[in-house]
Amino acid sequence: MDEQQPLAGIRVLEYGHLVAAAYATKLLADLGAEVVKVEPPSGDDSRRRGPFPAGVPHRDHSGLFVYLNTNKQSVTLDLEESRGREIFGRLAAGVDLLVHNAPPPVMDRCRLHYEELSAGNPGLVMVSISPFGLEGPHRGYEATDLTLWNSGGLAYLNGGGFEAEDLPPLKAYGFQAGYQGALNGAIAGLGALFARLRTGKGQHVVVSIQQSIAAILELTFEYWPYMGLVASRLGRKPIQPLDFLECRDGWVFVCCVEEHQWRSFVDLMGNPEWAEMELFADRLSRGANWDALKLFLQEWAREQSVMEIYHAAQRRRIPFAPVSTMSDLLSSAHLKTRGFFALLDQPGMGEVTVPGAPYRFSRPGWSIRRPAPALGQHNEEILGGRLGLSSAEIAALGESHVL
């Protein structure tokens, strides 16, 4: 255990599938927390999602699983069976934090109830990340990332929206809803642990992924009551420029809403005459006349290189950003200089480049200490060494399942 890491000594138990619970505990594990991941004998669903090296599926070689589960230990238990639930309860009795993303119907079947699990561990903090929370008419609904993206409002916001209902809603790639629920869960869980330092008591933290999505809709809520605007991806914004422009070799996002930024942008473009038109006198006027202004800006941008515009704007302190592909990000000089990417030596996969810490501390604290575990890799160490189960008992826990 590295005493330099901020969460060294914190014991965490994880249960769930795919992203929400796994990413929440990854954020903690990479900062030094000890995380024991409980999987069903068939494994976390993320083991089957890939991407896989050479496109060959393997439960221990999924890129998604490997990224989400560095620095963790894996044990297998079937929480649908009484013996599995009993052993899980014993594990929960010895940890500081339990994080799961089982929806309420699964919580009921697996007896993931805070009152029961904390009976022998009153300091336990439990974080339940569920699609729609644990109360209300939708508590029993199960959901996918697609349905959560829609119910949280982002799919509509990314659709055509008001007066353009014929355009389809758009979903971000991957499991973005789950990641948002995970981030909220990790932060709230740490907050509850901090509170325990004062009170000595644990608590049950409930995170609704739908609410997590709704909370990041930016100015969507304010637009209608204050300005009568319905937000949409089509750029109906009260202030401009705040949009994408197509360059000769890609796209750039233009954020230029302060007056000093606009004057610097006009200078960058060579002070064209049209920039002095009364239509574009201030940011509200530029917002009201964006259709006309965008034609001028687009005509200029189409002759420029993305990186040329980006760097020229940065030198003038205008917050432009290139629209990057995954390849662009991997080769980004900025991210390389910050040391964002990390190298992971993953058994069976070799050296893999993975995203590193999503933040910078004033002193080192984030690290990958061990690769993602094979399915049930630590059964003997945790269930045997820590709980005292025999090898025969451990083997019997999953003998009826085909792995």
Instruction: Note whether residue 145 is domain-resident.
Output: yes
The pLDDT of residue 308 is 93
| Residues 345-387: tens digit of each pLDDT | 999 999 999 999 988 877 778 999 999 999 999 999 999 999 9
E strands, 137-280, are 204-208, 242-247, 250-255
249 and 119 part of one domain: no
pLDDT at 162 over 70: no
Q: Which pLDDT band, with edges at 50, 70 and 90, does 123 fall under? A: very high
Instruction: Note whether residue 48 is domain-resident.
Output: yes
Instruction: Note whether residue 382 is domain-resident.
Output: yes
| Residues 272-301: tens digit of each pLDDT | 999 999 999 998 999 999 999 999 999 999
128 and 54 part of one domain: yes
The pLDDT of residue 160 is 65
Q: How far is the C-alpha of 373 from the C-alpha of 390, rounded, in Å?
A: 21
Instruction: Note whether residue 307 is domain-resident.
Output: yes
The mean-pLDDT minimum among 90-94, 207-211, 214-218, 246-250 falls in 214-218
Query: Is 30 exposed, middle or buried (CB count within 10 Å of its CB: 0-12, 13-18, 19+)?
Result: buried
Instruction: Note whether residue 35 is domain-resident.
Output: yes
11 SS3 class: strand
pLDDT at 163 over 80: no
272 and 366 part of one domain: no
Question: Contact, 37 vs 71, CB < 8 A?
Answer: no
Last residue of a domain, one of 328, 343, 377: 328
Question: Contact, 116 vs 88, CB < 8 A?
Answer: no
- What is the rounded average pLDDT for all residues in the chain? 91
78 SS3 class: coil
Q: Which pLDDT band, with edges at 50, 70 and 90, does 2 fall under? A: low
55 and 198 part of one domain: yes
46 and 190 part of one domain: yes
Question: Contact, 124 vs 118, CB < 8 A?
Answer: yes
Tell me the percentage of the chain whose pLDDT exceeds 90: 75
47 and 115 part of one domain: yes
Task: Give the burial string for 231-263 (b: 16+ CB within 10 Å, else e).
Answer: bbbeebbbbbbbbebebeebebebebbeeebbe
Domain that residue 265 falls in: 239-328
Chain-centre distance for alpha carbon 223: 26
370 and 305 part of one domain: no
39 SS3 class: strand
Q: Which pLDDT band, with edges at 50, 70 and 90, does 403 fall under? A: very low
Question: Contact, 6 vs 348, CB < 8 A?
Answer: no
98 SS3 class: strand
| Residues 7-56: tens digit of each pLDDT | 999 999 999 999 999 999 999 999 999 999 999 999 999 999 989 999 99
Q: What is the CATH number of the domain that holds 15?
A: 3.40.50.10540
Question: What are residue 342's DSSP bridge partners?
Answer: 354
Q: What angle do CA 66, 27, 188 make, to 5 degrees?
A: 140
Tokens, residue 185: 């869960």
Q: Which residue has the tokens 């599995």?
A: 84
The CA R_g of the chain, rounded to the nearest whole Å, is 25
158 and 211 part of one domain: yes
125 and 258 part of one domain: no
366 and 270 part of one domain: no
19 and 113 part of one domain: yes
126 and 260 part of one domain: no
pLDDT at 400 over 50: no
Tokens, residue 170: 């758009």
| Residues 132-157: tens digit of each pLDDT | 999 999 999 989 999 999 899 888 77
In order of 37, 41, 197, the CA distances from 379 in angstroms are 11, 11, 31
The DSSP 8-state label assigned to residue 274 in this structure reads G
Last residue of a domain, one of 328, 348, 377: 328
Smallest CA-to-CA distance from 175 within 61, 20, 356 is with: 20
Q: What is the CATH number of the domain that holds 282?
A: 3.30.1540.10
Query: Is 315 exposed, middle or buried (CB count within 10 Å of its CB: 0-12, 13-18, 19+)?
Result: exposed
Instruction: Note whether residue 232 is domain-resident.
Output: no
Q: How far is the C-alpha of 211 from the C-alpha of 129, rounded, in Å?
A: 11
Question: What are residue 35's DSSP bridge partners?
Answer: 12, 72
Q: How far is the C-alpha of 134 from the C-alpha of 128, rounded, in Å?
A: 8
Q: How far is the C-alpha of 168 from the C-alpha of 177, rounded, in Å?
A: 19
Give me the number of domains the chain comprises. 2
